[in-house]
């Protein structure tokens, strides 16, 4: 049995809506992130890390429970993960000191933590409220700085006779992308490069895709992107270009603040002799569109939304300076962290430990395909499911009964749907059979929530009275 003194400390930093392609170590052409890149350089970068449902609450619940959304009951916003055990609870029960700081975004109070101090729901960027172990308070300042301050306080005030696991979860860069004073003028004179699909006409996509209202410049209550700054521009092309610039500059300023604050945590570990025995992870709850296909937000199974950044450092335990392309899921995080603590996953956890992969070992067997499902038709993003291998992606829009198939080696931007191409007949047949196999294997049968799912699907139909809201 591993003793407490031998077990590593853990710091799990998670942003909200931070796209992997807005990090230098993932090849960003828009910005630099030196502190996040330092974790990747001194540890490992995962290149095929994916979420199983690309919205905040389901992904967070999947991370905590190691279970797919249908299994833990969290398939939409602000729902609690029922009574399923979480990895922080298991770590705490085994002797770890556990703390949760920042954005929680689940429909219940945090459990399994010795200490917690979280934002209510989405939280505010400036002078935010926090709920400190059940007591509401307001703290002056910028939310990213405050979350880091509280994280450092938790580290400084921890019991010194126990290993620790601290979850530090940021609000940024969630909309509406308010910066701190330090970065307010950042990119002011810059021209942010545009993605090649900013003006995607969706000619090859399913018709269901075209109804989405997460387009840059779309008029949507509370989400119109910078109409005050760009609404006077009559030309639609020029207006979208201007709105893209406003969006990206604000988004990237929020990312810059996160990077600075990650540097503060790295400095603390170095200054207090904790770096060698602490696993530090940086990730996000899902990806985000940065103008690709003309979109912001997430939800769709396309790469920018599906892919999660994941960099991790643990001297002696994680092979440094390399990347890995095994298919890793957010449901795997719990089993992996428990493995480092010498614990087995709880019954019902569906993820696998990738500790060996992080150590640079080739696993004897590993998944070659992953399953994704987005349940709720929200912002007119249609409900859909699909599978992805390293080369292919198949998506099925269940309400409109439309199919998409992408050959990612030939079409990394996902603009050419080859589902109807006779040359892909065998691929098509195989991936459709894999969907059925994985749904059966994982138990995603709709039996327990069919009524809810159907109601949400109906909201996406154009004749519905609240269509477009």
The residue out of 335, 358, 381 marking a domain boundary is: 358
The residue out of 326, 358, 390 marking a domain boundary is: 358
Q: Are residues 330 and 382 in the same domain?
A: no
pLDDT in tens, 353-384: 999 999 999 998 999 999 999 987 677 888 99
- 219 belongs to a structural domain: no
Q: What is the mean pLDDT of residues 172-196?
A: 97
Q: Are residues 302 and 388 in the same domain?
A: no
Res 430 pLDDT > 50: yes
Q: Are residues 336 and 409 in the same domain?
A: no
**Residue 459 binned pLDDT confidence (cut-offs 50, 70, 90):** very low
**Residue 223 binned pLDDT confidence (cut-offs 50, 70, 90):** low
Average pLDDT over all residues of the chain: 91
* Percent of the chain with pLDDT strictly greater than 90: 81
Res 8 pLDDT > 80: yes
**Residue 1 binned pLDDT confidence (cut-offs 50, 70, 90):** very low
Q: Are residues 22 and 107 in the same domain?
A: yes
Q: Are residues 354 and 378 in the same domain?
A: no
Q: Are residues 109 and 15 in the same domain?
A: yes
Domain that holds residue 310: 7-180+245-358
Res 467 pLDDT > 50: no
Res 5 pLDDT > 70: no
Q: Are residues 445 and 316 in the same domain?
A: no
- 127 belongs to a structural domain: yes
pTM of the model: 0.93
Q: Are residues 75 and 174 in the same domain?
A: yes
Write a three-state SS string for the chain.
CCCHHHCCEEEEEEECCCCHHHCHHHCCCCCCCHHHHHHHHHCEEECCEECCCCCHHHHHHHHHHCCCHHHHCCCCCCCCCCCCCCHHHHHHHCCCEEEEEEECCCCCCCCCCCEEEEECCCCCCECCEEEECCEEEECCCEHHHHHHHHHHHHHHCCCCCCCEEEEEECCCCCCCCCCCHHHCCCCCCCCCCCCCCCCCCCCCCCHHHHHCCCECCCCCCCCCCCHHHHCCCCCHHHHHHHHHHHHHHHHHHHHHHHHHHHHHHHHHHHHCCCHHHEEEEEEECCCCCCCHHHECCCCCCCHHHHECCEEEECCCCCCCCEEECCCEEHHHHHHHHHHHCCCCCCCCCCCCCCHHHHCCCCCCCCCCCEEEEECCCECCECCEEEEECCCEEEEEECCCCEEEEEECCCCCCCCCCCCCCHHHHHHHHHHHHHHHHHHHHHCCCCCCCHHHHHHHHHHCCCCCCCCCC
Res 222 pLDDT > 60: no
Provide the CATH number for the domain around residue 389.
3.30.1120.10
Supply the pLDDT for residue 456: 45
The residue out of 334, 358, 382 marking a domain boundary is: 358
- 185 belongs to a structural domain: no
Q: What is the mean pLDDT of residues 151-180?
A: 97
Supply the pLDDT for residue 77: 72
Supply the pLDDT for residue 445: 82
Supply the pLDDT for residue 224: 56
Res 33 pLDDT > 50: yes
Supply the pLDDT for residue 448: 52
Q: Are residues 344 and 375 in the same domain?
A: no
Res 232 pLDDT > 80: no
Q: Are residues 353 and 437 in the same domain?
A: no
Say if residues 18 and 169 touch (Cβ distance below 8 Å).
no
**Residue 235 binned pLDDT confidence (cut-offs 50, 70, 90):** confident
Q: Are residues 158 and 30 in the same domain?
A: yes
- 126 belongs to a structural domain: yes
Provide the CATH number for the domain around residue 13.
3.40.720.10
Q: Are residues 342 and 253 in the same domain?
A: yes
Res 229 pLDDT > 50: yes
- 199 belongs to a structural domain: no
The count of domains in the chain is 2
Supply the pLDDT for residue 466: 23
Supply the pLDDT for residue 313: 98
């Amino acid at each position: 049995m591993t003793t407490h003194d031998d077990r590593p400390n853990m710091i799990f930093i998670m942003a909200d809506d931070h796209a992997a392609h807005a990090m230098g170590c993932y090849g960003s052409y828009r910005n630099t992130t030196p502190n996040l890149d330092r974790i990747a350089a001194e540890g490992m970068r995962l290149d095929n890390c994916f979420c199983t449902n690309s919205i905040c609450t389901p992904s967070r619940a999947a991370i905590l429970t190691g279970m797919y959304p249908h299994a833990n009951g969290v398939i939409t916003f602000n729902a609690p993960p029922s009574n399923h055990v979480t990895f922080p609870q298991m770590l705490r029960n085994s002797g770890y000191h556990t703390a949760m700081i920042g954005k929680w975004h689940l429909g219940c109070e945090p459990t399994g933590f010795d200490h917690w101090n979280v934002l209510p729901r989405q939280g505010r960027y400036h002078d935010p409220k926090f709920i400190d172990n059940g007591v509401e308070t307001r703290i002056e300042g910028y939310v990213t700085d405050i979350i880091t301050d509280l994280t450092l306080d938790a580290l400084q005030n921890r019991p010194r006779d126990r290993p620790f696991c601290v979850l530090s979860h940021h609000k940024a860069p969630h909309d509406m992308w308010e910066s701190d004073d330090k970065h307010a003028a950042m990119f002011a004179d810059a021209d942010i490069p545009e993605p090649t699909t900013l003006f995607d006409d969706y000619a090859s996509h399913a018709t269901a895709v075209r109804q989405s209202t997460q387009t840059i410049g779309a008029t949507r209550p509370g989400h119109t992107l910078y109409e005050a700054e760009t609404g006077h521009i009559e030309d639609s092309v020029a207006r979208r270009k201007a709105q893209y610039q406003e969006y990206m500059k604000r988004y990237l300023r929020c990312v810059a603040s996160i990077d600075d604050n990650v540097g503060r945590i790295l400095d603390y570990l170095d200054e207090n002799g904790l770096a060698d025995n602490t696993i530090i992870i940086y990730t996000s709850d899902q990806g985000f569109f940065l103008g690709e296909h003309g979109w912001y937000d997430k939800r769709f199974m396309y790469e920018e939304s599906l892919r999660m950044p994941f960099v991790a450092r643990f001297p002696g335990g994680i092979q440094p300076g390399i990347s890995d392309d095994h298919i890793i899921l957010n449901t795997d995080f719990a089993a992996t962290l428990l493995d480092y603590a010498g614990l087995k996953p709880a019954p019902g956890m569906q993820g696998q430990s990738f500790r060996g992969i992080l150590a640079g070992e080739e696993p004897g067997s590993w998944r070659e395909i992953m399953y994704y499902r987005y349940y709720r038709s929200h912002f007119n993003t249609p409900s859909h499911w699909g599978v992805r291998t390293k080369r292919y992606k198949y998506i099925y829009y269940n309400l409109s009964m439309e199919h998409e198939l992408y050959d990612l080696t030939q079409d990394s931007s996902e603009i050419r749907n080859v589902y109807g191409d006779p040359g892909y007949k065998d691929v098509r047949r195989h991936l459709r059979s894999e969907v059925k196999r994985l749904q059966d294997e994982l138990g995603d049968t709709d039996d327990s929530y069919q009524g809810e799912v159907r109601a949400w699907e109906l909201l996406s139909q154009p004749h519905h009275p609240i269509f477009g809201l």
